Amino acid sequence: MKGLVILLVILTLLLAGCGALYDRSMKELDVEETPEVVSGGENIVVDIDEGISEFIEIIGPMDSTWIGPGKVTFGNFVPGNEATYPITIHNGSSDSKSFLMWVMTPSLASEEYSNFIREVSTWVTFGDNGFIMAPKETRRVFVTLKMPDSTFVPHRNWEFWIAVKEGQSSFIQEAVASRWVFEMGDY
């Protein structure tokens, strides 16, 4: 009986410990699937670990094609983290238009946060891409960045851009981009 109890104690402890670890890793940077919209206002800070998923509402002109937010800053980010945030896209045209999203290299020489990690394009996934939007439609597309555990980031601050443009065949093409800025934490 004593042996059985000891075995039970060990098994229970192991299961409980693993459960706690598993549970924590799954909660880390988890974003609710149905976001709560916060209207207007200035910058908002979202503490993802607290389970808050507030995404600012972007309001722009009806007759222009635009995206928002213009800039998203992730603070205290470390390898292994995953972050999701929506890009709001508005088709200001009176016609249906196709839209393409991609990871864009920022201007390399101008900004404090311009350090670019080439691999980032393989870390980013789009909830939708190459989609067609109806005239005057506004849509949110969730963009997720998952930085691998083993990543070494040589710069404290770095950024990349999420660029969006209409499907165009012209020589000059217009694109708008959201700056995704990362301030790395200690790791």
Partner 1 sequence: MERFKDLTLLFLAIVLAMVMYLVPIDRVLGATTATVTVNATPAFVTLTVAPDTWDVNGITGSGAASTGTTYYSNPLGDVLIPSDPIVDGECRFTITNGSTVATNLTVDFGDFFGGMTMINSDAGTSAATEFGAFSWNSGDTTYAGNRTIAMVTGSDYMHSNLAGSTNIKWGLTILTRTDAWTNATLMQSTVTVTSTVAY
Q: Which of residues 94-153 bind partner 1 (CB under 8 A)?
A: 104-110, 116
Would you tell me how many other CB atoms lie within 10 Å of the CB of residue 54? 14
Site residues for partner 1, window 5-24 (CB under 8 A)? 5-6, 8-9, 12-13, 15-17, 19-21, 23-24
Minimum distance, C-beta of residue 131 to partner 1, in the bound complex (Å) = 19
Interacting residues with partner 1 between 30 and 49 (CB under 8 A): 40-49
| 3 membership: H or E segment, kind and range | helix 2-27
What is the contact mask toward partner 1 in residues 61 to 80, using x (rule: CB under 8 A)?
x--xxxxxxxxxxxxxxx-x
Tokens of 143: 């963009």
| Choices 57-65, 93-101, 124-132, 150-158; region in contact with partner 1 by CB under 8 A | 57-65
Q: How far apart are the first and last CA of the chain?
A: 46
Structure tokens belonging to residue 144: 């997720």
- Only segment of 1-9, 93-101, 127-135, 150-158 that touches partner 1 (CB under 8 A): 1-9
Residues ≥6 apart with Cβ < 8 Å to 26: none
Q: Is 92 in the site for partner 1 (CB under 8 A)?
A: yes
Is the Cα dihedral 169, 171, 174, 175 positive or negative?
Answer: positive
Q: Which is nearer to partner 1, 132 or 167 (CB)?
A: 167
